[in-house]
Chains A and B, each alone.
Chain A
Amino acid sequence: DQQVKQNSPSLSVQEGRISILNCDYTNSMFDYFLWYKKYPAEGPTFLISISSIKDKNEDGRFTVFLNKSAKHLSLHIVPSQPGDSAVYFCAASVIDSWGKFQFGAGTQVVVTP
């Protein structure tokens, strides 16, 4: 069963504008969420995380928002840069599951000049 869903397989955004990636989950026990970026032929690279005790976390150009009541999280990238073109995965875990993460199917982001 797919407990983490990224319903937008692709996103095109102009350089300098904001990219907003969305992720929904169904398991209310999830309490730790991460976003990964993946380039072709490379493994996923950790971007940013958020625990369920927070509703926002920022790291430079990246901000993750968590809405627990809606079981929804989003990643904002501003401003978008050409190097941000990649596949982005959200992942969720339950703290006592030894860090076993469930991943969404990913969103392909293309940043155009």
Chain B
Amino acid sequence: DTGVSQDPRHKITKRGQNVTFRCDPISEHNRLYWYRQTLGQGPEFLTYFQNEAQLEKSRLLSDRFSAERPKGSFSTLEIQRTEQGDSAMYLCASSAGQGYQPQHFGDGTRLSIL
């Protein structure tokens, strides 16, 4: 399977703990995106990488959130001091090149804060 892979699929943690998610994009894709989706809503953009450079961050991404993409391959999204409102599905997507390109999504990491 050469699709976008996310790990873990489900994370349950207590409020105040730190969590880290991983995304492995499609290998030839140089663009990588993180989205957050809550119940009844569509995905909301969080941040975007072109290769290893983080080029844009949404206002949704508070200081407790940090994302990296070392070497332009896999990416990690860390949430520090988790809060109840962080409970959501975190989706990673990747796309190739420039211009009109669809994004291909992974199956997401569902975060549940107790």
Please, which residues of chain B bring their CB within 8 A of the CB of A34? Answer: 102-103
Is A99 close to B, CB under 8 A? Answer: yes
CB of A108 to closest CB in B, whole Å: 10
Judge whether A43 and B106 touch: CB under 8 Å: yes
Query: How many interface contacts (CB-CB < 8 Å) are there between A and B?
Result: 62
**Contact A99/B4 with A43-B108, A105-B40, A105-B42 known, Cβ cut-off 8 Å:** no
Of all chain A residues, the one with the shortest Cβ separation from B41 is A105
Render A19-33 as a binary contact track against B, CB cut-off 8 A, 1 for contact. 000000000000010
* Chain A interface size range: 20 to 34
Is A49 close to B, CB under 8 A? Answer: yes
Interface residues of A in 73-106 (CB under 8 A from B): 89, 91, 95, 98-106
Interface size on B, residues (CB 8 A): 27
Please, which residues of chain A bring their CB within 8 A of the CB of B102? Answer: 34, 46, 49
Judge whether B107 and A103 touch: CB under 8 Å: no
Render A31-70 as a binary contact track against B, CB cut-off 8 A, 1 for contact. 0101010000111111001010000000000000000000
7 tightest A-B CB contacts, nearest first: A103-B42, A43-B105, A46-B102, A43-B107, A44-B105, A89-B42, A103-B43
